[in-house]
Amino acid sequence: MSEESEDVLAELFAVVESRKADLPDDSYTTTLFTHEKGENYVLEKLGEEATETILAAKDGNREELAAESADLVYHLLVLLSMKDMDLDDLLAELAERRG
């Protein structure tokens, strides 16, 4: 992963954390953190995005695969934030697995 890619992920995660703290009314991220279904809503969205990513890959549509993958990563970052984890936790685990 390039440094620029890590910066994009870090910036996105910072936005998620900011929305979690401030809960602006006009934010989709706020909806995820405050939905009446709670954590289950984010888990459902994550599952939905995973399915859409799989289908885009199966269909061989690169643009759709990139878009759905971005949605999947976004919802994963929201879940990590909900669980009081951060991007460093994820990156450390990936680095450890790389050996």
Question: pLDDT tens for residues 41-91?
Answer: 999 999 999 999 999 999 999 999 999 999 999 999 999 999 999 999 999
Domains, the chain, in order of start with CATH, read 3-98 (1.10.287.1080)
Is the pLDDT reported for residue 2 higher than 90?
A: no
Is the pLDDT reported for residue 28 higher than 80?
A: yes
Q: How far is CA 88 from CA 3, 14, 36, 37, in A?
A: 14, 12, 29, 28
What's this model's pTM, rounded to 2 decimal places? 0.91
Helix, strand, or coil (residue 24): coil
Separation between Cα atoms, residue 71 and residue 45, nearest integer Å? 9
